[in-house]
A = this chain, B = another copy of it.
Amino acid sequence: MKNIKIKVPATVANLVCGFDILGMAINNPYDEMELRLLETPDIIIKHTDHFGLPEEASKNVAGVVLLKMQEHLNLKNGFEVIIHKNIKPGSGLGSSAASAAGAAYAANILLGNILSKEEVVHFAMFGEELASGVRHADNIAPCIYGGITLVKSSDPIDIIPLNTPDLFIAAVHPQVEVKTSDARQILKKDIRLKDAITQWGNIAGLIAGIEKNDLSLIGRSLNDVIIEPVRSILIPKFHEIKTKSLELGALGGGISGSGPSIFMITERKETAEHIARMMSSVYDEINVASFVYVSDINPSGITVIE
């Protein structure tokens, strides 16, 4: 195979109480990527979108992943990559992870599936390192595996795909900037043991709820007493949106990744649509532009279109 076209899902990392360990792939929005295997060692990146991302290979998230694969796997081939990006950079919906994971995933297929899934994750993490300075798999893992994934450890890579409950997501991306580095710096280095115990009770409940498909338990467990109270300060109208979402029937939700997007989980699609309209109107009122998304969970991760 010389050419491949793939569909790459957006992802929600830091799933409420699952800070740094739980992520989820969603069907909307998504990127499309085309990769072509070259006889020459060039890495050529083209963006058809207008986000102004760098196309020089060493500065591009997909490019740097392919450069690392070329180096570590002693490849003589190069790749041409065309990225049709819909997941907005800086949204907190796994935009850089999509480019990184898509590049590693598609290149591996073009090379004849020489890598395990964990190795694909390993290479994709170089893209995250370029984008955020941290080699993390919070978005990469659900993007590649689909559904909800637990990153038990990223060194060594230990990823556990969980059950995919039948749920819907409403997400809003307000056009305000939250830098990942600011979102990291604002966190306290020490926390109360008491709060940590509450948090791990919620995490345990969330995992049990996901595995048992117990939506009530999932809802009761979607509480973050440690990260959200601090980071939500950076996102205008966070509390109003969360409160109104719960009133409208959301099971729970929180900050997607390090923000500024906010996501809510619902049992029914109509509830998610209702919440999305509310989210949009809350930001309209304060004249902040926003994009809203309604989606189900993407169960299988990156898929090959052609």
Contact = CB atoms under 8 A, between A and B. Distances in A.
B152 A221 contact: yes
A208 B162 contact: yes
The complex is assembled from copies of this chain, and their number is 2
A205 interface: yes
A197 B150 contact: no
Contact of A197 (B19, B207, B217, B220): B19
A194 B200 CA distance: 14
Contact of A212 (B20, B153, B211): B211
Q: What is the interface residue range for chain A against chain B?
A: 35 or more
B153 A201 contact: yes
B160 A205 contact: yes
A22 B204 contact: yes
Contact of A21 (B158, B200, B220): B200
Nearest to A153: B201
Interface in A68-92: none
Given A192-B190, A220-B158, A207 B201 contact: no
Given A150-B201, A202-B152, A207-B207, A193 B193 contact: no
Contacts of A196: 191, 196, 199-200, 226
Contact of A152 (B18, B20, B162, B204): B204
Nearest to A227: B193
A203 interface: yes
A25 interface: no
A190 B193 contact: yes
Given A193-B187, A197-B20, A211 B204 contact: no
A151 interface: yes
A189 B194 CA distance: 7
A207 B208 CA distance: 6
19 contacts: A18-B200, A21-B197, A150-B204, A151-B201, A152-B201, A152-B221, A153-B201, A160-B205, A160-B217, A189-B192, A189-B193, A191-B192, A191-B196, A196-B226, A199-B200, A203-B207, A207-B211, A211-B211, A211-B212
Interface of A: 17-22, 150-153, 158, 160, 162, 187-194, 196-197, 199-205, 207-208, 211-212, 217, 220-221, 226
Given A22-B204, A196-B196, A204-B207, 8 more contacts: A21-B197, A151-B201, A152-B202, A160-B208, A190-B191, A190-B192, A193-B226, A199-B200
